[in-house]
Amino acid sequence: MSIWDQALGVIQSRVTAENFSTYFRPLHCADVQSDRIVLEVNDAFFGDWVRDHYQDLIHDAVESIAGRPLEIEIVTATTPIPVPASDPPKSKSIVEEEDATLAPVIPITQGVKPKRLGAFDLNPHYRFDTFVVGPSNEMAHAASMAVANDPARAFNPLFIYGGTGLGKTHLLHAVARRIYADRPNAAITYISAEEFTNEVIKSIQRQEMDAFRARFRDQCDVLLMDDVHILAGKERTQEEFFYTFNALHGAQKQIILTCDRTPQEIPRLEDRLRSRFQWGLIADIRPPQLETRVAILQAKAERDGISLPDDVAFYLARLVRANVRELEGALVRMSAYASFTHQELSIPFAQECLRDLVDHREQALTSESIIKLVAEHFDVRESDLKGPRRHRTIAHPRSIAMYLCRKHTQSSYPQIGRAFGGKDHTTVMAACRKVDKACNNALSARSEIESIERKLPI
Ligand code: ADP
Ligand code: MG
């Protein structure tokens, strides 16, 4: 087996089956020399994409096989190389399976083609009548109902934003189900922004852009796109989505988008898309209040036939505050354990069986975890936040990260400075003061901080 074939084996074990067949199968090893390996692709854009996103991974995989670092050169082939057929889907990774135990979700777009939804594709639990409405989500809920009852007339697009696990996907499915019930012939496309990106790349690679455009622009009455923050920095995908958006909007087709932040806060998003995201209605979902969390738990317990005493419901709801998925996961875990061990649900029992959740929560909020989260939020590298660069695109997230470390951990200024690659404590103090002042003076600064805080496990 060649070095490249063996390296592919290493890569395959590190990425999802979907990404492997999209990005790595099409790479053709044209040459291996003592200091470099030359990979050919059919399309320069595809090559750039792979270089931007997977260079390090490929480099590490090749080095682990060759026993020395080789330069990775990705070039466009002069004569087209054949594109291998896709692999059958591999079993899920461990991470996904762990997730699944917390939230039993039926994947609705297996395979790569976004398809018209049939009712069977929808998660059976994600309906309007199972969505518990409270002050934190009533606007998003009402707007979703309005759109489901009168697509493309109420608000277009509807843009729903909020932190992870707060019910955005749930609402999208509920809308699809309602539209589908009223108009069985409607062509409803549900796709995550990540899958849309994969589709764009694959279609370019296979020279099937016409079919792609027909599918999204001409054969679609309602487009539900989940997690559009993923489009950050993906220029070619943004361009394609811009035309899709225009075609659908112009033809009075309903578009609903979900995101983990407001349109203004999505980094590296073209202004023309940003402005379109704001054309219709923007509705937020915030973490639910205590009473709503208790109501969600009680509804779930009733659905699943779990007998949940009120005091235990309140205990759980106080413990898990920022994420409904985790809240439900804690209930599922506890009731499973209770039924294995034939015990009743009680507060001491809950304390015992959710102990790692409590410990984990305490551990989770370290400077490291805040730096990681802020880096993800702004789409910058953690090493840049810890490094010396002073460009605004780095300095701004760095100041915010320092501020959040100070606010949410017990660390001192010098400790925070050390977590940021050995910065002086005066630098940290200045950053915290600056962010504090900005928050006092501008609503936008405050909302930016809040949208990051929503993701903290607090
Ligand atoms: P998001 O897409 O915002 O990350 P999901 O829609 O996947 O979140 O929701 C996570 C879990 O929490 C799902 O099981 C969903 O049914 C449940 N959930 C969230 N909000 C509510 C709510 N208001 N009422 C009932 N269940 C909810
Ligand atoms: Mg979601």
Yes or no: domain 290-353 corresponds to CATH 3.40.50.300: no
385 or 447, higher pLDDT: 385
Calculate how far, in angstroms, residue 124's C-alpha sits from the geometric centre of ligand 2: 15
Name residue, tokens 């809040």. Answer: 450
**Whether the predicted pLDDT of 84 surpasses 80:** no
- Of 254, 189, 241, the residue nearest 215 (C-alpha): 189
Name residue, tokens 């390296």. Answer: 7
109 or 137, higher pLDDT: 137
User: In the CATH scheme, what is the homologous superfamily, with its name and number, of domain 3-76?
Assistant: DnaA, N-terminal domain (3.30.300.180)
pLDDT in tens, 281-334: 999 999 999 999 999 999 999 999 999 999 999 999 988 888 899 999 999 999
pLDDT of residue 57: 87
| Residue 116 pLDDT level (bands cut at 50, 70, 90) | low
pLDDT of residue 119: 54
pLDDT of residue 427: 96
Calculate how far, in angstroms, residue 171's C-alpha sits from the geometric centre of ligand 2: 9
232 or 447, higher pLDDT: 232
pLDDT of residue 458: 59
Q: Which CATH architecture has domain 100-285?
A: 3-Layer(aba) Sandwich (3.40)
**CB neighbour burial string for 172-197, b if at least 16 within 10 angstroms, e if fewer:** bbbbbbbbbeeeeebbbbbbbbbbbb
Residue 60's alpha-carbon distances to 18, 32, 63, 302, 429, in angstroms, are 20, 16, 5, 50, 38
Average pLDDT value for the chain: 87
Which atom, in ligand 1's list, is nearest to the CA of 164?
Answer: 4
pLDDT of residue 66: 84
Residue 35's alpha-carbon distances to 63, 70, 72, in angstroms, are 11, 5, 9
Tell me the mean pLDDT in the region 169-186: 93
**How many other C-beta atoms are found inside a 10 Å radius of the C-beta of residue 69?**
11
pLDDT in tens, 398-425: 999 999 999 988 889 999 999 999 999 9
Q: Side chain identity at 318, as an amino acid letter?
A: R
**Whether the predicted pLDDT of 94 surpasses 60:** no
Choose one of 133, 166, 225, 303 to mutate for the ligand 1 pocket test, by most ligand atoms within 8 angstroms of C-beta.
Answer: 166
pLDDT of residue 118: 56
User: Which ligand is nearest to the Cα of residue 291, counting in written order?
Assistant: 1
45 with 236: CB under 8 angstroms?
A: yes
Calculate how far, in angstroms, residue 163's C-alpha sits from the geometric centre of ligand 2: 9
pLDDT of residue 80: 78
**Whether the predicted pLDDT of 134 surpasses 50:** yes
**Whether the predicted pLDDT of 242 surpasses 70:** yes
Supply the residue whose CA is at minimum distance from atom 23 of ligand 1: 132
Tell me the mean pLDDT in the region 214-218: 91
pLDDT in tens, 143-154: 999 999 999 988
Which atom, in ligand 1's list, is nearest to the CA of 173?
Answer: 6
User: In the CATH scheme, what is the homologous superfamily, with its name and number, of domain 365-453?
Assistant: DnaA protein, C-terminal DNA-binding domain (1.10.1750.10)
Which atom, in ligand 1's list, is nearest to the CA of 137?
Answer: 23
Calculate how far, in angstroms, residue 126's C-alpha sits from the geometric centre of ligand 1: 8
Which atom, in ligand 1's list, is nearest to the CA of 227?
Answer: 2
Q: What is the pTM of this model?
A: 0.68
**Whether the predicted pLDDT of 97 surpasses 80:** no
Tell me the mean pLDDT in the region 11-22: 80
Calculate how far, in angstroms, residue 175's C-alpha sits from the geometric centre of ligand 1: 14
Tell me the mean pLDDT in the region 118-125: 73
pLDDT of residue 362: 59
User: Which ligand is nearest to the Cα of residue 175, counting in written order?
Assistant: 1
**Whether the predicted pLDDT of 129 surpasses 90:** yes
| Residue 216 pLDDT level (bands cut at 50, 70, 90) | very high
**Whether the predicted pLDDT of 174 surpasses 50:** yes
Measured distance CA(123)–CA(111) in Å, rounded: 16
**Whether the predicted pLDDT of 76 surpasses 90:** no
Q: Output the six-digit token pair for 83.
A: 């594109």
Give residues (CB < 6 A) around ligand 1: 103, 125-126, 130-132, 137, 164-170, 296, 324-325, 328
Tell me the mean pLDDT in the region 344-362: 81
Domain positions in the chain are: 3-76, 100-285, 290-353, 365-453
